[in-house]
Amino acid sequence: MFENLTDKFDRAFKVLKGEGKVTEINVAETLKEVRRALLDADVNFKTAKEFTERVKEKALGLDVLTAVKPGQLLVKITHDELKELMGGETKDINLQGSPAIILMSGLQGSGKTTFSGKLASYLKTKKNKKPLLVACDIYRPAAIDQLHVVGESIGVEVFSERENKNAVSIATNALNYAKQNGYNVVIIDTAGRLAIDEQMMAEIEEVKNAVKPSEILFVVDSMTGQDAVNTARTFNERLNFDGVVLTKLDGDTRGGAALSIKSEVNKPIKFIGTGEKMDALDVFHPERMASRILGMGDVVSLVERAQEQYDEEEAKRLEKRIRKDQFDFNDFLDQIGQIKKMGSMKDLMGMIPGVGKAMKDVEVNEDAFKHIEAIIQSMTPAERKSPSLLNGSRKQRIAKGSGRNIDEVNRLMKQFDQTKQMMKMMTNKTQMMQMMKQMKGARGGIR
């Protein structure tokens, strides 16, 4: 996500490295590269030009503290302007109403049906809601089946009327069904087209007028770049939607839609899709996205993801086992499972300041844990519980059973021992304090 843009911004700011002060000449040179980076990312020319002019005006109008280097100053101003360009602050979805009604709009292939499922899953698991999905796409072959498959995968009911060819009637019937059966959110998946046409726009307007949604979301494929902005403008003129959803941000996208859609239609981006799985949905935070684009990472989102997988009872149980020196390969396997639930490794590393930039050309193997899991699963229950049993012949058997070599088994044993020692140290507060004092002393000795 935004790798090319991050790289080009980084190159642009290198112009100011080593400069003693901000001048009109060096700022102009840097911002020329910034504007070029935005245009390459498929940002509208007018938006890119206005953006760089605002950054230049602020940079030249500030009295720079001697402690702040020109490069750092311009990065800070660019970060703040990027945040404002993408909406300034996070906008929540409107869930008012009994039930709350959310209407999906967008072209065919933008990811409306998949996003409808992701949103239902998000509201069910994170907001403690009882959502109902409604199949109002009466034209696309297998659209109803697709929504049923999505609903089944997340445990959410789907309302459909296969013989009914009137989208307005289906939507109103679904609304009555939701009220009678205690659903507090209704998500209506509407039909899309390969291009905007009058029939499509008239139908979705009729659905809107009939159900009076509390929230209308425009779903757009971010890989379509500037075309996404143009489509959003047309939909907004007819529907006056409340927010934008950008899908496929994990693909080979230049990011132009994310950067310019807010300024073009004056509607906030509310969600982004970052993968195919039903939990690959993020609330859009302009400030965090600006930080990621500039290679600063996104520690807040990383911590939030970790907290989502955090089980307090499990943590207490694990701490007790570590204190008693009972941490075994079953616990090790559980921890791997927790990490995998947080998302793709490359995405997680991109949230750590500096790491995303360092890893941009490195291929991250998302199946890296599979080999470890295969080795552990090739152990007997007794071996997993008592790693000290693992002698040479047992390791040879495990290597053969998992399809790995003996070196990989030995490497895993070493990693396991190191993890065990580190966890033991983290539960021992006295030992941790001593280590921190030693580190502080070592830093103090370096002049």
CATH for 100-296? 3.40.50.300
The more confidently predicted of residues 96 and 76 is 96
Quick: pLDDT tens for 137-166.
Answer: 888 778 899 999 999 999 999 998 888 888
In this chain, the answer to whether the domains covering 100-296 and 304-444 adopt an identical fold is no
> Given this model, what pLDDT does residue 428 score?
60
Contact between residue 255 and residue 223 where contact means Cβ atoms under 8 Å apart? no
**CA distances in angstroms from 332 to 4, 325, 377, 397, 412, listed in the order given:** 36, 13, 11, 20, 11
Confidence of residue 15 (pLDDT cuts 50, 70, 90): low
Quick: pLDDT tens for 406-437.
Answer: 998 998 888 888 877 777 766 665 554 555 55
Q: Which of 248, 246, 242, 281 is nearest to 260 (CA)?
A: 246
Mean pLDDT across the stretch 106-111?
A: 82
Decide: helix, strand or coil at residue 203. helix
Distance CA 139, CA 287 (A): 39
> Given this model, what pLDDT does residue 171 score?
93
What are all long-range contacts of 302-310, with beta carbons under 8 Å and residues at least 24 apart?
302/348, 302/351, 302/352, 305/342, 305/343, 305/348, 306/342, 308/342, 309/338, 309/341, 309/342
**pTM metric for this prediction:** 0.65
The answer on pLDDT for 440 being more than 50 is no
The answer on pLDDT for 217 being more than 90 is yes
Mean pLDDT across the stretch 53-74?
A: 68
The fold of the 304-444 domain, in CATH, is: 434 Repressor (Amino-terminal Domain) (1.10.260)
333-361: b or e for each residue (b if 16 or more CB lie within 10 Å)? beeeeeeeebbbbbbbbbbeeeebbebbe
- Choice among 14-23, 94-103, 220-229 with the minimum mean pLDDT: 14-23
DSSP string spanning 62-83? S---TTS-HHHHHHHHHHHHHH
> Given this model, what pLDDT does residue 86 score?
83
DSSP string spanning 230-297? HHHHHHHHHH--SEEEEE-TTSS---HHHHHHHHHH---EEEEE-SSSTT-EEE--HHHHHHHHTT--
Distance CA 188, CA 103 (A): 5
Helix (H) or strand (E) holding 395: helix 392-402
> Given this model, what pLDDT does residue 444 score?
45
Distance CA 332, CA 310 (A): 15
The answer on pLDDT for 194 being more than 80 is no
Q: Would you kindly state where each structural domain of the chain is located, as residue ranges?
A: 3-85, 100-296, 304-444
Architecture of domain 3-85: Up-down Bundle (1.20)
Tally of helices (H runs) and strands (E runs) in the chain? 21, 8
